[in-house]
Amino acid sequence: MEFEAVIGLEVHTELATKTKIYCGCTTEFGGKPNTHVCPICMGLPGSLPQLNKKVVEYGMKAGLALNCSINQVSRMDRKNYFYPDCPKNYQITQDEKPLCHDGYIDIELENGETKRIGIERIHIEEDAGKLLHTKFGTLVDYNRAGVPLAEIVSKPDLRSPREAVLYFERLKSILQASKISDCKMEQGSLRCDANISVREKGSEKFGIRTEIKNMNSFKALEKALKYEFKRQVEAVKNGKKLTVETRRWDETKGITEVMRSKEEANDYRYFPEGDLVAINIPDEWIEEIKNDIPELPHEKVERFIKEYEIPKYDAEVVVLSMDMGNFFEETAKKSGDPKAASNWIMGDISKLMNEDVIRVEELKFTPMHLAKLIKLINEKTISKAIGKKVLEEMYKTGEMPDKIVKDKGLVQNSDEGAILEVVKKVLQDNTSSIEDYKNGKTKVIGFLVGQVMKATKGKANPQIVNKLLNEEIKKL
C-alpha cells in the first residue's frame, strides 16, 4: 500500500506598515517589553479601533501579486479565543468575506515540470502578543499585539514536504519583491502553519488532518512535514486512530508534539466586528494597486535568461532579492558582459557579504565599480587573480577599481621578454616537474603556471605564461 501526503499551508506575513492595524503604535521590531502599546491594542474598555488603510492596500497588493480576485465589499470579524497573548480575548480578523480569494502560485518541481498551487483566500488581521516562558513563569509581551498580518491560505494541493518548501520559497520571493513584507523569518515576520493528512495514492478521500504550528524556516517546515507524514503512515498501517489536533515542531528532538485538540470554526464564535465599518473597494483603487506591483522574481528570471543569455541557475541566484537583481542588471548593461557580472555576484561578492552578514544594498561599491572591474580584466589591464584583490579593496573602501590598480601598481605585465626570464628560472628550479610533464602528467603545467604567477606577484598575463611555458618545455 502506497501513501501520499495532502498538505496545505497557512502563511502569516507581517505587513510593512509603520503603525499597527487598528492604532498608531509603532510596528518596529524589538523594544522593551510592553512599550509599543496603547489602550486600543491592549483592548482596554472604551477604546475603539480604526482600520489602517495601508493594511488594506498591502493586503490587496498581495492578492493581486498572487493572482487572486478582490472582494470589493469585505468586512472585519471577531474571532473569540482565550489565550493570554490575546489582550482583548478576541482577535479582529476576517471570516466570511476575506479581502482576496481564488488565486494561485506556479512552482517548478525538481523534474522541471510546473505545478499550480491554488490559494483559497487572503485575509487581514492583527497579530497576538508574545509569550515568554521562563523559570519564573510565563511572561507576556504585547508589543507585537496589533501588528498587521496577511494570512495566505493555500488549497490542499501540495503532495510532498518538498513541494511545500518550493511553494513557501516562491511565496516569500513574491512578497519581498512587492515590498509587502520584509519577510524576516528570524524575527517572525514570515511564518506558517502546515496542515497535513495522509491517504492511499489514488484515493480522493482526505485523511485525518494535523496542524503543525508556527514554523519560521524552510528547513524546519520540511523536517516537520517529513516526520509527520511518517508518523501518520505508521499509525494508519498499524490500525491506530488519528485525531484532529494541533502539534508543535521540536527542533532538538526532531519530532512533532501535541499542543491541543484542533479547534473548528464554530469554536471561535465568529461574528461581524461592530466597531468597524465594511470595506468598500472601488475599481479605481484596485487598478492603482495593480499598477504598483513590480516585476516579480520568476518573471525577472525568465527575462534575464532571454535578454542577457545567462544560465537559468545564474538568473535564479541573482534575483534572490530585488536589490541583487537590480545590481546585476545595471552591472550587465554597463560592462557588456552579463555572465561575468553574474559570476562575480554569485561568487566573490556573495562570499564577502555572507562573511559580514550584509545585504547588497549595504555594499560600499556600485554596479559602476563592478562593471569597470570587469572591463579592466576583459581588456587585459589586470588578471582575474588581481581582480579578486581589487574587489576586496573595493569592498573595504568603495574606491573605483582603476584608482586601486593605479595606486597599488597592479597593472598586468604582458612583456613577453620579462615573463620569459621568470619562466626559465621556474623551469630551472623545478626539473622534476619537467620530467613529470614529459611522462604524461600534463596537469603539472598548472603548478608551474602558479609558480610563475607567484614570482610575478600575480601581475604576469596568464595566457602569455601558459604559451611560454609550453614552448620552453618542448625545447628541453
Pick from 364, 391, 408: which residue ends a domain? Answer: 408
Tell me: do 20 and 120 sit in the same domain. yes
Residue 206 lies in a domain: no
Phi-psi region of 43 (alpha: psi -120 to 50; beta: other; left: phi over 0): left
Pick from 363, 384, 408: which residue ends a domain? Answer: 408
Tell me: do 283 and 393 sit in the same domain. no
Query: Can you give the CATH number for the domain in which 453 is found?
Result: 1.10.10.410
Three-point CA angle 31, 37, 43, nearest 5°? 150
Does an H or E element contain 268, and which?
A: none
Pick from 390, 408, 426: which residue ends a domain? Answer: 408
> What gap in Å lies between CA 345 and CA 319, rounded to an integer?
11
Give the pLDDT confidence score for residue 189 in this predicted structure: 94
Question: Contact 465/416 with Cβ under 8 angstroms?
Answer: no
> What gap in Å lies between CA 386 and CA 117, rounded to an integer?
48
Tell me: do 369 and 274 sit in the same domain. no
Residue 383 lies in a domain: yes
Tell me: do 270 and 402 sit in the same domain. no
Q: Which long-range contacts (CB under 8 A, 24 or more apart) does 330-337 make?
A: 330/367, 330/368, 330/371, 331/367, 331/370, 331/371, 331/374, 332/308, 334/367, 334/368, 334/371, 335/370, 335/371, 335/372, 335/374, 335/375, 336/375, 337/374, 337/378
**Within 10 A of 457 (CB to CB), how many other CB atoms are there?**
12
Residue 210 lies in a domain: no
Which residue, chain included where needed, has cell 492604532?
23
Tell me: do 113 and 49 sit in the same domain. yes
Instruction: Take residue 343 and report the three cell numbers written for it.
Output: 559570476
Map residue 78 onto helix, strand or coil.
strand
Residue 173 burial by CB count (10 A; 0-12/13-18/19+): exposed, middle or buried? buried
Instruction: Take residue 140 and report the three cell numbers written for it.
Output: 507576556
Residue 259 lies in a domain: no
Q: Where are the alpha helices (H) located in 292-430, listed in sequence order?
A: 297-308, 312-318, 322-335, 338-344, 350-356, 367-378, 384-397, 401-408, 416-429
Question: Contact 213/235 with Cβ under 8 angstroms?
Answer: no
Tell me: do 448 and 304 sit in the same domain. no
Residue 351 lies in a domain: yes
Tell me: do 428 and 378 sit in the same domain. no
Tell me: do 18 and 156 sit in the same domain. yes
Give the pLDDT confidence score for residue 30 in this predicted structure: 87
Residue 373 lies in a domain: yes
Tell me: do 283 and 138 sit in the same domain. yes
Q: How confident is the chain (476 residues) per 10-residue block, as mean pLDDT?
A: 93 97 95 96 94 98 97 96 91 96 94 94 96 90 96 97 96 94 92 95 89 93 96 92 92 90 76 95 97 93 96 93 92 97 96 93 96 94 89 95 88 74 81 74 79 79 79 74
pTM, two decimals, is 0.81
Structural domain boundaries enclosing 401: 297-408
Query: Residue 28 carries which side chain, given as an amino acid letter?
Result: E
Give the pLDDT confidence score for residue 262 in this predicted structure: 63
Question: Rg of the chain over CA atoms, in angstroms?
Answer: 29
> What gap in Å lies between CA 37 and CA 69, rounded to an integer?
34
Tell me: do 180 and 321 sit in the same domain. no
Tell me: do 116 and 188 sit in the same domain. yes
> What gap in Å lies between CA 182 and CA 192, rounded to an integer?
15
Does an H or E element contain 76, and which?
A: none
Which CA distances in Å does 178 have to 14, 34, 174, 181, 366? 13, 31, 6, 8, 23
Question: Contact 385/453 with Cβ under 8 angstroms?
Answer: yes
Residue 251 lies in a domain: no
Question: Contact 155/117 with Cβ under 8 angstroms?
Answer: yes
Residue 469 lies in a domain: yes
Tell me: do 274 and 383 sit in the same domain. no
Q: How many domains does one find in the chain?
A: 3
Does an H or E element contain 453, and which?
A: helix 444-455
Give the pLDDT confidence score for residue 265 in this predicted structure: 63
Question: Contact 324/102 with Cβ under 8 angstroms?
Answer: no
